[in-house]
Every structure is written in structure tokens, then in C-alpha cells.
Structure 1
Amino acid sequence: MAVTGRARALYQRIADDLRAQITDGSLQPGDRLPTEAEIAARWETTRSTAVQGLKLLVNEGLIVSERPRGYFVRSRQPMVYRPQAEFHKRPLSPEMDQFITQMAEEGREASQHIEVQVEAPPRKIRERLQLGDDELVVVRKRVRYIDGVPYNSNDSYFPLALVQGSAIMHPADIARGANAVMSELGHEQVRALDEFHIRM
């Protein structure tokens, strides 16, 4: 015997319909969606219900609101970045690290904001870096942008005792890379371990 769940709310069905049109290509990147009033009229509901449905898609990153022009299907330009290229011999510019250089070569505008803090490490970081209970770390907190849109954030932890007084302590791009700085300090990277924890 089939068991049916509760009917989805109207604003969810509005979002489902628009999402399906985006998925099947009926609505292309950059296309303007119907107005709030047009959606409300089509579904015989209120504008506030139409807005609820549109907000779902905004939160999912499928559409963007460009008031007062309306809602548009979000244009996505894939980005491929190969961090291992940092280890290749290459001309260096003091203004551009590997990430910014690669994006510029692809015609994209890339930038990043960096903060540096000295702090007591969380337990997991202390264990990974094999630090004593009283040892501090330097954290480089970086947010990267492509074409003005934030796409990535990452925090890098270094034992304070190893990097004190080095370029890693400064909140600026390191054109030659933090790995090169560590190598200059006598701590060359010999391996890397990537762990991925997936969540919605």
C-alpha cells in the first residue's frame, strides 16, 4: 500500500517548477525569470508566496536578484585550479601568486583577502602538527574571489616556533608560495594528505 506524504507547500511547488526549467535548459544562464506579479498570477496566489519560492532558488544559488531589474538565472563559469602547479618552476611576479596568475591567464579577475592570527590551536590541529599543550600556531585565513564573488576560504596553520619572523607572518600574498617559505626555513614539504568531509 502506497503511503503519500503531505502535499508540498505552494511556494515549494513554484520553486520546483522554476528549478525544473533551469535544469532542463528551458531557462538559460542570464535569462530573466517572470516577475513576482507574473508568478503570482500564474499560480493564483499572492506575491509574498511567489517571493518565498524565488528566495528558495536564490538560497540554492540557482538564481540571483538584481533589483529593480528582477530575478535572473545565475551564470556559472567553471573554475579549474591546480594547486600542484605551485611546485613548478615559473617566472614570478611580486604582485601575483600562482592562483591569481592562473585566473588572469584565463581572463578571470581573481583576488584574495588574507588575515594572520596567532592563537592556541584546536585539539585536532595540535594533534596533526604534533604540538605541545602550550605551543601556539600562526593561522593564515584566506578568502578567495573570482570576478568579485567569494568562492573559497581556507585556513592554514603553522607552528609559531617554525615561522616566527617569516613572510608567513604577514597578511599579504606570498608570490613564491608558503611551501617555498617553509623550504627556505628548512622544512620542505615531502607529502600532502587531503581529507574531504562532505555536507549540504
Structure 2
Amino acid sequence: MSLNPADTRPLYQQLASLLRDQIRTGELQPGARMPTEGELSQRLSTSRNTVRLAIDVLKKEGLVVSHQGRGSFVRTEPPLRYYASLTGSRSRRLEAQRRKDTFTQQVEAQGKQARQVSTVEVIAATAEIARHLSVGEGVSVAVRRRIMFADDQPLQLGDSYYPLHIVENSKIMDDADVVEGTDQVLEDLGHTPSWYEDEITWRMPTAEEATKLHLSTGIPVGRLVRTTLDQDNNPIEVYEVILPGDRHVLLYEVDAK
């Protein structure tokens, strides 16, 4: 491993690229201890500050984690597979017999323990939410806000918006966990989720999102906005989920018929 004097990139970016390649090819295995600043600076005849900046780049990309007093290590946790086409799956929900929602099923299937912390409030619909729910801007809607965990690591933020007349006095308006899932509650209320429309964008997190998700500087997030329609083609929920880029692989299964 050596730095290229003809490369116009700053030395720390060159070093970050070399180390990134070693991680992605498996030369540096998950869980492996990274060479120390002293080892790398001596091996490459560069400064410790250059090494430090390179390691910081990899930390921000989610490839490397540091433990005080122990050093830096290749991240061992693989990104969670987020099966967007199965989230809200009625067949999966019915198979669970009201004991688990689809988020819990996905997380547990990947060997982790799922948990959610929820709060509920009534707010005035923003222009975006009003458009998706086909209501007037400023109309009162219910919102259920969740911080979703896998093995106590904050994994996602999920905010669900509902027409107030549908969910008022239902379980959805309670902060307590809805074990069977909110889609099941909607079906119990006579509004079976029957069709989903997804919009996906990528951006940097807000300060609030970064705090709630414990995000390092430089980690982007995916924003998925799903509009749910019932059996009568009426919008019954808008679900906004924030997915940290270093913790998720977004997957869809698409029927080719």
C-alpha cells in the first residue's frame, strides 16, 4: 500500500480510498483492528494528521468505528435489509396472527431484537401531507411518531399521518406499542390497506434526525414517503420513514407480470 504522488487528491483522501478498498475486498475483515496512526504514518511516510483525517472519512461513511482506549475497527454490523415491498404486507401480518408487526418481523428475521418508542399528537396538515391524504392544508390530522430500534441501536424514524376521523379513539391514538401493527388496526376500523405508492429521496439529515438516530457527521439518509390507500381507493395513511444510509440496504421485490 502506497500513496501516489501523481494523484491530485489530498493525501488523506488517497489513504481513505486505499483503506476503503481493503475493507470492501475483505483484506480488512469485519471486526478487524485498523492499523494505528503511528503504524500507518510510518508505513506511508506521512503525518499522523493525514492518517487521522483518513480514518475520520471512513467513520463518517460508516465503515469504521472507534472505541476509546482500544483503537479503530472495521464495522462488524452489516446494513439491515429493508424490504420495502414487504413492509405492510397483509399476508405477513396475518401469518403473525396479530402478535408482530412487519417491522418487528423483518428485524427479528435478521437476528436482532426490535423495539419502538412512540408518541402521538394531533397537528395541522402541512401542504405535503394534505396533498397525500387528499385533505385541506391546515386540517387536523393524527400523527404517530416512532423511533425504531434494532438491538437498542436507533435504526429508523417513522412518522405516520392519518385522517383524524378514521383513527380517533382507536389504538393508533395511544402512545403504547401497537403489537399487531397499525395496518391491522386500520383494517379492524374498516379500511383495509390495499395499495401503496412510494416516493424515495436522499438527503442529509436534519439536526433533530441526526440526534435521534445517533448519526455521525456526513451520513446521508433515505426518506421514503408511502401513501396507503384502502379498498375504496381512499388515502388512509402517509408514512414517512427516515433510513440512515450506513444502516440500510433498500430492497424491492417486483412482480414481472
TM-score (norm 1): 0.85
- Residue 193 (structure 1) shift: 1.2
Aligned residues: 194
- Partner of residue 225, structure 2: none
The answer to whether structure 1 residue 90 and structure 2 residue 91 are counterparts is: no
The answer to whether structure 1 residue 164 and structure 2 residue 168 are counterparts is: yes
- Separation in structure 2 between the aligned mates of residue 78 and residue 8 of structure 1, nearest angstrom: 29
- Separation in structure 2 between the aligned mates of residue 106 and residue 69 of structure 1, nearest angstrom: 28
Identity of aligned residues (%): 38
- Separation in structure 1 between the aligned mates of residue 61 and residue 80 of structure 2, nearest angstrom: 19
- Partner of residue 56, structure 1: 57
Instruction: Answer 1 or 2: higher relative contact order, Cα 8 Å, separation at least 6.
Output: 2
Question: What SS does the aligned partner of 2:155 have?
Answer: strand
- Match for 1:136 among 133, 140, 153? 140
Amino acid at match of 1:123: A
The answer to whether structure 1 residue 152 and structure 2 residue 156 are counterparts is: yes
Change (3 A) 1:187 1:198: same
- Comparing 46-55 with 181-190, which one deviates more in the overlay? 181-190
TM-score (norm 2): 0.67
Question: What SS does the aligned partner of 1:138 have?
Answer: strand
- Match for 1:112 among 112, 116, 141? 116
- Separation in structure 2 between the aligned mates of residue 75 and residue 158 of structure 1, nearest angstrom: 38
Unaligned runs of 5+ in 2: 1-5, 204-219, 221-257
Radius of gyration: which is bigger?
A: 1
Question: What SS does the aligned partner of 2:122 have?
Answer: strand
Amino acid at match of 2:94: H
Amino acid at match of 1:151: L
Unaligned runs of 5+ in 1: none
Contact 2:65–2:72 (CA under 8 A) maintained in structure 1 = yes
Change (3 A) 1:194 1:112: same
- Separation in structure 1 between the aligned mates of residue 123 and residue 172 of structure 2, nearest angstrom: 14
Amino acid at match of 1:57: L
The answer to whether structure 1 residue 181 and structure 2 residue 182 are counterparts is: no
Question: What SS does the aligned partner of 1:88 have?
Answer: helix
Question: What SS does the aligned partner of 1:193 have?
Answer: strand
- Residue 102 (structure 1) shift: 4.8
Question: What SS does the aligned partner of 1:197 have?
Answer: strand
More strand by share: 2
- Separation in structure 2 between the aligned mates of residue 36 and residue 108 of structure 1, nearest angstrom: 34
- Partner of residue 104, structure 2: 100
Contact 1:86–1:177 (CA under 8 A) maintained in structure 2 = no
